[in-house]
Amino acid sequence: MSENKLDEFAPIFYPKTHAVIGASSDMRKFGARVLQVSLTFGYRGRLYPVNPQESEVQGMKTYASVKNIPGPVDFASVAVPAQAVPGVVQECLEKGVKAVQVLSAGFREAGEEGAKLEKELAEIAARGIRIIGPNCFGVYSPDGGITILPGANLPKESGTVGFISQSGGYAIRVPRRSEGLGIRYSKIVSYGNACDINECDLIEYFYHDPQTEIITGYIEGVKDGPRFFKLLQEVCRKKPVILWKGGLTKGGARAVQSHTASLGGEEQVWDAVFGQTGAVRVTGLEELLDTTLAFIHLKPQKGRRVCPIGGGGGIGVAATDSCERMGLSVPVFAEGLQKKLMSIVPETGASARNPVDVGNPHPPPQMLRAVMETVAAEADIDIIIIDELGMTMVGPPGSEPMRPPGAARDMVQVPVDIRNRFGKPVIVVLPVESVGTETLEEEGDRRRVCDYYLEQGLPVYLTLERAARALLNFTGYHRRNAVMSS
């Protein structure tokens, strides 16, 4: 792999000039919306609308052809009917445009005629222009000032996660859902049918990109299996690659045919890919984001011995079931440690064998602190999980509502202090207690507490099961890397 990709792809991620071919003022059209999201997102380079039928689009001077634009053009978005795309891209090549993103659909996924058009596109690319798409939503690169469709309101600040998506829908859904979780992206590429630039090119780019520390992707099929396999083996040694492979079931593979017409591949082949390259396998959007959150916030960690701390015996049973089902271990504490913990928690209604049951979901903050200090000092425990303690729940009858800032603030602070003092990973499970419209304020409190933990670098999850799965994925990556490098 060469670092050339960084230079080669610079016009895509940091274009100084951007032509929008098919630009219009009719907001139902892709070409109009590309122009509009670029303006709204605050693109700082030069933007050139192109449309042979218009002299002005959205108040901007418009060119009949890309060839009429004065001066060089780095990058072009193409949103014209499929039949017209090859001609337009050929003009871009002749103009010296470095790369285009073809947003139009109607290619390989639409049947034989579309496949022919796509083949033409690939041939034009081979003559010296790079193509993203067709059948995609384009590129988001906040530092380059460009965004995906319809991503006018995506964050303008960049992060350390790269995301490639064969699906346009997920290319926009993933960053939207990431926003509230504080996950920020270096670049996102919706690459659609991948007639030229494919998943391997993009993973290779992210491998070299100093801005990208975690590589994530939604992939339906792979163009060049052996290259993909070899590339992942190399990349995973340096940066984690978290992949959601869509279309692994029989019906799912059929749906892939209708969508991006990729060869989905058998489940066994993908078992081998994940088993032998170190790429982290996830099976849905939630798991993708949950796992990414662990990689963002936790230091490399191989150990899987966890201590869930909750309030209520049933919660502890469920926590243990969830952890062990996922492959984490909840080791029984030595008797001395149990005794020490039992001297902190209430004599009845609590337990300290691991998990630790502090008796009820609203323990006094100083009790939680003493329990956490004792557990964090334990060499045999790798990870502490605060499981459904009532950080934001209304307290028992007669008590004041436990809302931060207020009575619960001290309890909220405890896990942060312990993580800071002991450096051990602390995970917080903070479920939505009620989905009723009348408890929206409570949900606001919950989200504020989540925000605080995420700011402080403590991953937060909605359920313990999801936390456990993310931790399994995370520790699995670091276990493998430890073996590979030993």
Count the neighbouring beta carbons within 10 Å of the beta carbon of residue 104. 23
Tell me the closest approach of the beta carbon of residue 96 to a second copy, in angstroms. 30
CB nearer a second copy, residue 235 or residue 460: 460
Confirm if 367 and 341 have CB atoms less than 8 A apart: no
Phi first, then psi, for residue 43 (nearest 5°) are: -60, 130
CB nearer a second copy, residue 158 or residue 211: 158
Adjacent-strand bridge partners of 17 = 46
Confirm if 200 and 228 have CB atoms less than 8 A apart: yes
Which ranges constitute the DSSP H helices of 14-84? 30-41
CA separation for the pair 427, 458 (Å, rounded): 6
| 3-state SS class at 451 | helix
CA separation for the pair 395, 159 (Å, rounded): 37
Residues 6+ away with beta carbon under 8 Å from 222: 198, 199, 200, 228, 262, 263, 265
CB nearer a second copy, residue 440 or residue 482: 440
Tell me the closest approach of the beta carbon of residue 197 to a second copy, in angstroms. 18
- 145 in the Ramachandran plot: left (φ > 0), alpha (ψ -120 to 50) or beta? left
CA distances from 26 to 19, 32, 35, 53, 297 (A): 17, 6, 11, 13, 43
CB nearer a second copy, residue 3 or residue 56: 56
Tell me the closest approach of the beta carbon of residue 459 to a second copy, in angstroms. 13
Tell me the closest approach of the beta carbon of residue 89 to a second copy, in angstroms. 17
CB nearer a second copy, residue 135 or residue 475: 135
CB nearer a second copy, residue 5 or residue 362: 362
Tell me the closest approach of the beta carbon of residue 167 to a second copy, in angstroms. 2
CB nearer a second copy, residue 6 or residue 152: 152
